[in-house]
Chains A and B, each alone.
Chain A
Amino acid sequence: MVTNVASFGRSGLADFVLQRVSAVIVGLYALCLVGFFVTTPRMDHAVLAGFFESLPMRAFTTLAVVSLAAHAWIGMWTVGTDYVRRHYFGAGHTVYLGIYLVVCIGLIFVYLLWPLSVVWGLP
């Protein structure tokens, strides 16, 4: 009866699971970065580039960036559909919501492409 979690689309259950899985991935990635910064006594370009250019780290970054995009989209979509309501924005609220969501999607694309191009563009 209930749509399978694996079948994406605007299912609340899928969003719910996706948001939590992506949260764990991004959280672990953030911890990994914090750990790296804390345990590295002297930081310079070579050390930083060296850290990011290893293949596992590139893969992890890619996974984290994709997770972040999914996580941010679900979160920002929820925020928008909460606050951009007729009560405050009048009859045109759907237009405002549309503009807001387009801006969010634009930023999310930047957040997808920019870090990936940087990390995979490393020598």
Chain B
Amino acid sequence: MQISLYRFDPDTDESPRTDSLELDLPEGRDLMVLDVLELLKAEDPSIAYRRSCREGVCGSDGINMNGRNGLACITPVSEAAPRGKLTLRPLPGLPVVRDLVVDMSQFYRQYEKIKPWLVNDTAPPARERLQSPEDREKLNGLYECILCACCSTACPSFWWNPDKFVGPAGLLQAYRFLADSRDTATAERLAALEDPFSVFRCRGIMNCVSVCPKGLNPTRAIGKIRSMLLSQGI
């Protein structure tokens, strides 16, 4: 199989280069892209990428495969490269530390901005804050995010304004806490999102939805945030 691999080592390289590699894949088996990377790394240990659980849970190995973001560990080679040539590049729009490893600081800063924790200033009850099954149901499709950054780095609005637009991953979590019946900071959370960039830079192009390895829908969550902003603003 033909593989084109993005390489950059700040120790030695002025600018990134693309390595064209040839790899013999085992017959009759559809490997995951991460398996291909492991095979390549056995040959050339200097290839750098993040990986951990190798089953789509930890969110470490988000990369760009033939132009599309996804988790290398759960993307079959046949799906990533239906025409036989596999192109592996780092997640778009974030600074590259080395090879397929990107600097996630900007992504985490946006996540931190939306205060991804429960805020409740009332005195806690003796045991725990209860939630009805119906209210708990509202968090489904929101809490499952693994912060792999596939969505935000597939979003042109995030490419253009990574410092101002919160991005799909952060906004999904923003709505996760706006929708939580136990959270009392709804008004403050909404006020922090009201500027022209944080949430309103979303143009609903659904790149986030189409790459999310967990099948989540940040676009829908963003729509719900806008509706909440509207009903508060009028």
Is any CB of A less than 8 Å from a CB of B in the complex? yes
Q: Which of B196, B201, B232 contacts A2 (CB 8 A)?
A: B232
| Residues 1-37 of A contacting B (Cβ, < 8 Å) | 1-5, 10-13, 15-17
Give a binary string over B159-201; 1 marks a CB under 8 Å from any A CB, 0 the rest: 0110000000000000000000000000110110111111111
Q: Does A40 contact B (CB under 8 A)?
A: no
Tell me if A10 and B230 are in contact (CB < 8 A).
no
Query: Does A83 sit at the interface, judged by CB under 8 A?
Result: yes
Question: Counting CB contacts under 8 A, is A85 at the interface?
Answer: yes
Name A5's closest neighbour in chain B (CB-CB).
B233
Whether, in the assembled complex, A81 has its beta carbon less than 8 Å from a beta carbon of chain B, the answer is yes
B-to-A contact residues, CB < 8 Å: 156-157, 160-161, 187-188, 190-191, 193-201, 226, 229-230, 232-234
A-B contact count (CB 8 A): 56
Residue pair A12, B196 in contact (C-beta under 8 Å): yes
Contact A2 B229 (CB under 8 A): yes
> Quick one: which of A3, A78, A81 contacts B194, CB cutoff 8 A?
A3
Bound Cα distance from A82 to B196, whole angstroms: 12
In this complex, which of A3, A16, A17 has the most chain B Cβ atoms within 10 angstroms of its Cβ? A16
Given contacts A1-B188, A2-B233, A11-B194, 4 further A-B contacts (CB under 8 A): A4-B233, A16-B200, A78-B201, A82-B156
Minimum distance in angstroms from A10 CB to a CB of chain B: 6
Closest 4 CB pairs of A and B: A12-B200, A12-B196, A1-B187, A82-B160
Q: How far is the CA of A99 from the CA of B109 in the complex (A)?
A: 31
Q: Contact: A12 with B199, CB < 8 Å?
A: yes
Alpha-carbon separation in the docked complex, A5 to B231 (Å) = 10
What's the least CB distance linking B191 to chain A, in Å? 4
Please state if A83 and B160 are interface contacts (CB–CB under 8 Å).
yes
CB distance from A43 to the nearest CB of B (A): 38
Query: Which of A2, A3, A11, A78: most chain B Cβ within 10 A?
Result: A2
Docked-complex contact A2 and B190, CB < 8 angstroms: yes
Q: In the complex, what residues of A have CB within 8 A of residue B194's CB? A: 2-3, 11-13
Bound form: Cα–Cα A16–B230 in Å: 9
Q: How many Å lie between the Cα of A4 and that of B200 in the bound state?
A: 16
- CB contacts (< 8 Å) of A5 on chain B: these are 230, 233-234
Q: Find out whether the CB atom of B234 lies under 8 angstroms from the CB atom of A10.
A: no
Query: Which residues of chain B are near A83, meaning CB under 8 Å?
Result: 160
Who on chain B is nearest to A74 by CB? B196
B190 and A1 contacting across the interface, CB-CB below 8 Å: yes
Give Cα A11 to B157, complex, Å: 18
Cα–Cα distance between A24 and B30 once the two chains are bound (Å): 51
Q: Would you call A13 and B160 a contact (CB within 8 A)?
A: no
Beta-carbon contact of A15 and B200 below 8 Å: yes
B161 — which chain A residues lie within 8 A by C-beta?
81-82, 85
Rounded to whole angstroms, the CA-CA distance of A82 and B165 in the bound complex is 10
Rounded to whole angstroms, the CA-CA distance of A83 and B159 in the bound complex is 10
Q: What chain B residues lie within 8 Å of A78 (beta carbons)?
A: 196, 201
Contacts of A11 in B (CB 8 A): 194-196
